[in-house]
Amino acid sequence: MPPVVETEEHTALRAAVAALGNRHGRNHVPDELWSETAKLGYLGVNLPEEYGGGGGGISELSIVLEELGAAGSPLLMMIVSPAICGTVIARFGTDTQKQEWLPGLADGTRLMAFGITEPDAGSNSHRLTTTARRDGADWLLTGRKVFISGVDKADATLIVGRTEDARTGRLKPCLFIVPREAAGFEHRRIDMELHTTEKQFELTLDEVRLPADALVGDEDAGLLQLFAGLNPERIMTAAFAIGMGRYALSRAIEYARERTVWKEPIGAHQAIAHPLAQAHIDLELARLMMQKAAALYDAGDDTAAGEAANMAKYAAGEACVKAVDQAVHTLGGNGLTREYGLASLITAARVARIAPVSREMILNYVSHQTLGLPKSY
């Protein structure tokens, strides 16, 4: 079981990353922050030391993302590049794939996107229609993906496709590294109401020819390898949400201490103080579950980590939305101004409820996996 109290190393890591985040702040330049985070060794803290990483795990990487978020400067692509793609390649990639990708992912000079979601399947890996078929020694990959982050800046995208099992004839998931310049690989930006540095894209793969070594891991263990990447994704999304919630809460607390309408600061009134206290409690509880999930994952217990990671993502998403909502209410009209920087979080906070998997699907998971209730789908 994970420790309830963080180690001295983790506490020191939090303090160091918080200082970095506060230097850059809410109006940070993402590329500069990404480079400095990498230079200081935080970006690849979860990757193996022999490939330039820090030799830590998702426990350490989630601390980095949470603290950057709490400073108002989260890096969304940390969820994708080092956490999902870096983890999958480190665990299942060939020596050549590790040597080619991990040092760059660790030092920030290379970026990798992750493509699973499809227009008609969402994240249901059993309904994905992107397929890969053999053509001699090569693979031909065809399909579509949607809501894929950062493809315009990524050197390659780790694509989840499906191949035919020679024994059963059924389609099984497999992961492929698709270079940005691959012929037949196109991306189109999706016009989002939510404005973030990381843009969203629809991908089209039209008979994309890939060499045999583009396949990551064992063709017959694709589902295991996929979930080895999805569990860190949920844990890191929880860190992203907790950081955002902490940032909003800190702005509200500062305002409630200073804003005086009658004789006392508004924070002296329980109608203001109690909801902020409740938001803080919810964020702390979500962090505990996130820490449990990260510790289980780093210990190699993928099954237990899957349950905890889903719960952590759910709890963090709910806590984040409530914290942002209460922060805006605390500031009143000021909460909707650009000056205070909270209004944009109203939309951004919902992302943690929706992505990478909806809260309803997590409730489905817990219902039948944890509680043993019948499946509804």
pLDDT digits (tens, 9 = 90+) for 169-214: 677 889 999 999 999 999 999 999 887 888 999 999 999 999 999 9
Using a pLDDT cut of 70, give the percent of the chain over it: 96
Backbone angles phi, psi at 214, to 5 degrees: -80, -20
Instruction: For residue 342, give the DSSP letter.
Output: -
Query: Which helix (H) or strand (E) covers residue 112, if one does?
Result: strand 112-115
CA dist list (Å): 208 to 137, 177, 181, 211:
14, 11, 10, 10
Q: Which residue type does 370 have?
A: T
Q: Is the link from the previous residue into 356 a cis peptide, with omega within 30 of 0?
A: yes
Q: Which residue type does 144 have?
A: R
Q: Which residue has the higher pLDDT, 17 or 4?
A: 17
Domain with CATH 1.10.540.10 in the chain: 8-111
**Does the pLDDT at position 76 exceed 70?**
yes
Q: What is the mean pLDDT of residues 57-81?
A: 97
**Does the pLDDT at position 222 exceed 80?**
no
Single out the residue of 284, 285, 262, 266 nearest to residue 327, CA to CA. Answer: 266
Q: CA–CA separation, 97 vs 90, rounded Å?
A: 9
Query: Which helix (H) or strand (E) covers residue 288, if one does?
Result: helix 270-298
Upper half-sphere CA count for residue 53 (Cβ side, 13 Å): 27
**Does the pLDDT at position 168 exceed 80?**
no
Q: Which residue has the higher pLDDT, 239 or 129?
A: 239
Could you please state the CATH topology (level 3) that the domain comprising 113-220 is classified under.
Butyryl-CoA Dehydrogenase, subunit A; domain 2 (2.40.110)
pLDDT at 123: 60
* 216, 177 contact by CB (below 8 A): yes
pLDDT at 249: 98
Q: What is the mean pLDDT of residues 38-47?
A: 97
Q: Are strands 171-179 and 156-164 parallel, antiparallel or unpaired?
A: antiparallel
Domain with CATH 1.20.140.10 in the chain: 223-370
Domain with CATH 2.40.110.10 in the chain: 113-220
Q: Are strands 171-179 and 215-216 parallel, antiparallel or unpaired?
A: antiparallel
Tokens found for residue 287: 């962090």
Mean pLDDT, the chain, as a whole number?
94
Residues 7-16 as b/e (b if ≥16 CB within 10 A, e otherwise) read eeebeebbeb
Q: What is the pLDDT of residues 323-340, one digit of tens each?
A: 999 999 999 999 999 999
pLDDT at 122: 64
Single out the residue of 68, 75, 70, 103 nearest to residue 89, CA to CA. Answer: 103
Could you please state the CATH topology (level 3) that the domain comprising 8-111 is classified under.
Butyryl-Coa Dehydrogenase, subunit A; domain 1 (1.10.540)
Q: Does domain 223-370 have CATH number 1.20.140.10?
A: yes
**Alpha-carbon torsion (366, 367, 371, 376), positive or negative:** negative
pLDDT at 270: 97
Longest dimension (CA), the chain: 80
**Does the pLDDT at position 2 exceed 70?**
no
